């Protein structure tokens, strides 16, 4: 059951000209109702490529607001469009949009209110070109964060996240940092609120 849910994919973009087309062309538009691209003052032709692809909602920041600032604009626009399910996908093609069907299904059927994609499971990070030193750093930081948060997540820094819109309405993501720590703050908000599936 997906058809009763409005699904919105948000693409927080910065200098994504070279990978945007490949990312967008794999988005399953049979289950996605709207695509939003927020360009955070890119120095390349990201906006032009987005418009050529026919992305209806292209928002441009006049000044660079940072990674967290970009996501805030993405989520606010998705909620404005009355999304039921919001998927944040980096347009740098580190994550395949082919997993969207599964992620959407899990939320639409009340299995989970939040679903995180992971580059770490299956070693796709290394295959996808993540430098080995970054992979090791990511793993060590994730272990440390799991201890602090009493969780068992495979990655806290994933750029592939699906949310029930209700989750976004119930956390104050606007208060978070505009920088890269935004992702961790958002997960902490969700975990501290102990948001669970309604089942």
Q: Does residue 146 form part of some domain?
A: yes
Taking the mean position of all CA atoms in its chain, how far away is CA 63?
21
Alpha-carbon distance of 181 to 186, in angstroms, equals: 9
Q: Is residue 45 located within the same domain as residue 136?
A: no
User: Contact, 34 vs 57, CB < 8 A?
Assistant: yes
* H or E element that contains 133: helix 132-149
Alpha-carbon distance of 124 to 154, in angstroms, equals: 12
- Average of pLDDT values for 66-88? 98
| pLDDT band of 129, cuts 50, 70, 90 | low
pLDDT in tens, 26-71: 999 999 999 999 999 999 999 999 999 999 999 999 999 999 999 9
Q: How many domains is the chain built from?
A: 2
Question: Which has the higher per-residue pLDDT, 109 or 144?
Answer: 109
Average pLDDT over all residues of the chain: 88
Q: Is residue 26 located within the same domain as residue 95?
A: yes
pLDDT of residue 131: 72
Q: Is residue 51 located within the same domain as residue 102?
A: yes
| CATH code of the domain covering residue 44 | 3.90.550.10
User: Contact, 10 vs 38, CB < 8 A?
Assistant: yes
Domain of residue 182: give its range.
Answer: 7-117+158-193
């Amino acid at each position: 059951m997906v058809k009763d849910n409005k699904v919105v994919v948000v693409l927080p973009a910065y200098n994504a000209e070279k990978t945007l087309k490949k990312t967008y062309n794999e988005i399953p538009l049979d289950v996605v109702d709207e695509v939003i691209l927020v360009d955070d003052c890119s120095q390349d032709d990201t906006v032009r490529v987005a418009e050529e692809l026919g992305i209806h909602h292209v928002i441009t920041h006049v000044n660079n607001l940072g990674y967290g600032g970009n996501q805030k604009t993405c989520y606010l626009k998705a909620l404005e469009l009355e999304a039921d399910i919001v998927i944040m996908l980096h347009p740098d093609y580190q994550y395949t949009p082919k997993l969207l069907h599964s992620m959407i299904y899990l939320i639409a059927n009340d299995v989970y209110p939040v679903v995180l994609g992971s580059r770490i499971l299956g070693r796709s990070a290394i295959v996808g070109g993540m430098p080995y030193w970054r992979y090791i750093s990511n793993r060590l930081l994730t272990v440390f964060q799991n201890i602090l948060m009493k969780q068992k997540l495979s990655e806290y820094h994933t750029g592939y996240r699906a949310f029930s819109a209700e989750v976004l309405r119930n956390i104050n993501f606007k208060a978070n940092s505009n920088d890269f720590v935004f992702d961790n703050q958002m997960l902490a908000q969700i975990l501290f609120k102990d948001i669970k599936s309604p089942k």
